[in-house]
Amino acid sequence: MKTTLITGCAGFIGSHLTDFLLKKKHKIIGIDNLLTGDERNLHHLKDNKDFKFIKHDVCKNLEIDYDIDYILHFASTASPTDYLKYPIRTLQIGSIGTEQILKLALKKNATVLVASTSEVYGDPLEHPQKETYFGNVNPIGPRGVYDEAKRYLEAITMAYHSKMNLDCKIVRIFNTYGPRMRVGDGRAIPNFINQIINNNDITIYGDGSQTRSFCYIDDTIKGIYKVLKSNYNLPINIGNPDEYSINELVNILKKLIPNSCNTIYFDLPENDPKVRKPNISLAKKIIKWEPNYNLIDGLNSTINYFLKLDK
């Protein structure tokens, strides 16, 4: 059995990765300091002999006695609510935390995959965004703490690959959604679903014409796994190229959930991207991956999850 260490294992994507790799017969060592992760995402694994949880801050030195084959670095304050609340911690996780993980991978001779983000492209001047685009990021804007943390994460990962010959993978994850997102996550889909379920006003920032591309969690996990198993070391976009405006997303959700909600509009936050759509040509070519879930099916699954939480 392969032994895999996953940082941020109690988070949304991290917990799904944990489940996926356990089904692939990996032994999992899960690391999380629970700053934004939720132990309830791991509760179903408490009696699983192939899963070990360690409460630990990735910015601190980590001693692991076991041999490790793979490390997946998903520790991050990934939502606007989180990284605006913890700006310094966000930068530390992306910098200090990432180097701690790279050093551990070097020590263990493990393959390491790091989770980057479409936010490295900032408010893009290229549309759709492909991996060769350098981005349009304001380093001192409110979103800069997350954007630059992930840009640094990529830079130091590539430095360890080129100078230390460490086997590294980088996934640039576009908007992903599904069960286990937090109610107060701050991102569009959980925000809107919970507002509509509770018949509250739907809050849209900007005029709603800004676009996003939404990838269901199962598709994202399969893409990440394919990158992990590949021989490719440069960044790969993982996301769904189907593009929707925020207004279109709200209209779809209002049809899926009975409601009598009003929609209210607020000013668009500073440096908020106007468009977001991945070019996944590289993923199709290198790892033979593209998403399968359509938005309606994915949203229904996510809505059902939040309805159960509400009871």
The tokens describing 155, both together, are: 């830079």
Element (H, E) at 189: helix 188-197
The tokens describing 108, both together, are: 């263990």
**Active-site entry in 70, 83, 121, 146:** 146
146 is catalytic: yes
The tokens describing 180, both together, are: 């286990």
Rounded-to-integer distance, Cα 229 and Cα 206, Å: 40
The three-class DSSP label of residue 206 is coil
Q: What is the CA radius of gyration of the chain?
A: 19
- Who contacts 91 (Cβ-Cβ below 8 Å, separation ≥6)? 145, 148, 149
Under a CB-based contact definition with an 8 Å cutoff, are residues 167 and 114 in contact?
Answer: no
Which residues are the active-site residues? 146
